Amino acid sequence: MLIRENRPTMNFLDAYRSHYGCHEDVVIRCLEPIKGSQPHTLCLQLASHRADFRHFDMAVADAPFHASRNNQFVIHFGSERTWYGRARPVYHRETGPVHKIEISLKTGAEHAADGDPLPSRYTVKITPRIELEVAPPENWSHPEPTEADRRFARSRWGKSLRGAKTDYQKASALARILCHELWPRSGRPKMKYDSPFGMYRNMMAGRSQGFCVQFNMIFVHACRCFGLIARNMHIERPVRYGAQDWIFLAGMHCTSELFDRDRNRWVFMDIRFHCLGAYLGEEGPLSTGELHLLISQPHWHDRLRFQVYDMDKRIEQRLPMRDCPRPDLHFYSGWNTVFQIGYE
């Protein structure tokens, strides 16, 4: 969390974006002062998430573009207090838009002369706007399955996924299959923690049972075996984490999310709740973070819809929240609810 003058701040870079980053054409990888012999020196480094990215063409003021080796500007302020630059991404077959950069500086000494006891302040304006880089979706999809796990998944579920083309279609097909396989074996586990497919084998053999943790960890691991980006999330509502005792409201839950590369966004899915997605009216599918924000505010409840798989009829239905077969959707609500992302 950023702190200014002992005042707490809230921003969605920390609370949301750092956990829900997507694939982006251009981002800011580094923006920080350089400490050394020259005062008032700033480093600005850009990056791209596109697979066909090659480099940035960069220029200072009106100078010609040149291909940059490290995709960064090192900006030293002397007597001039405003610096201008330009950058454009170069891809395999095309170039992207030119980003115009203007950076102004007001030093601590200049603030003091105006009667303000403030440190030096850099103001960076980039047009079109660029956001700070956060962890790409692949960083949340770990650990990688073993080759033995991939072979097992292909032999077990590969035929059922043959007609699926998109990430979401593949994940939905897996979710429907696993609902039928796991729900008859629902119950408190009889064995200690195991690998996801170890849990699956024990459940299928009747040696153990499973609930939300087993359901969704098996689902996420199966998704990864087919090259999908997926992650688990552990949900709890803590009042206190103490050295001697913890206090929680309600219980705990484990759910999952898929990163849909076609939509370039994370998608909430929870096979323990038969849910293949959540919507606000017809807008969606929502991420778990978006669902949590909306379900925690009662005035949105009438518009929330859930893509529910009916195991008896073997069909999907988009149902209003009040008609969902699982009434315990309250796990996703509550302003003190925390989500442990990447839970394994």
More confident residue, 66 or 334: 66
Domains 22-133 and 139-341 fall in the same CATH topology? no
* 304-327 pLDDT per residue, tens: 999 999 999 999 999 999 999 888
Q: Any idea what DSSP says for residue 140?
A: G
Cα–Cα distances (Å) from 235 to 44, 256, 286, 298, 337, in that order, read 37, 10, 17, 20, 7
β partners of residue 28: 46, 132
Q: Are 250 and 330 in contact (CB under 8 A)?
A: yes
| Helix and strand numbers, DSSP H then E, in the chain | 7, 20
State the Cα–Cα distance between residues 170 and 160, nearest whole angstrom. Answer: 9
CATH topology (fold) of 139-341: C8orf32 fold (3.10.620)
* 119-138 pLDDT per residue, tens: 999 999 999 999 999 989 99
Q: Where are the domains of the chain?
A: 22-133, 139-341
Q: Are 27 and 130 in contact (CB under 8 A)?
A: yes
Confidence of residue 248 (pLDDT cuts 50, 70, 90): confident
Calculate the average pLDDT of the chain: 93
Mean pLDDT of 255-275: 96
Those residues whose C-beta lies under 8 Å from the C-beta of residue 268, and which sit 6 or more positions away, are 255, 257, 275, 277, 278, 285, 286, 287, 288, 290, 291
Confidence of residue 235 (pLDDT cuts 50, 70, 90): very high
Rg of the chain's alpha carbons, rounded to an integer?
25
The predicted structure's pLDDT at residue 2: 64
pTM: 0.90
Assess whether pLDDT exceeds 80 at residue 37.
no
CB atoms within 10 A of CB 251: 12
The predicted structure's pLDDT at residue 252: 87
State the Cα–Cα distance between residues 344 and 194, nearest whole angstrom. Answer: 11
Tokens 């050394």 found at:
36
Confidence of residue 263 (pLDDT cuts 50, 70, 90): very high
Tokens found for residue 82:
């405003």
Q: Are 233 and 340 in contact (CB under 8 A)?
A: yes
Assess whether pLDDT exceeds 60 at residue 1.
no
Architecture of domain 22-133: Sandwich (2.60)
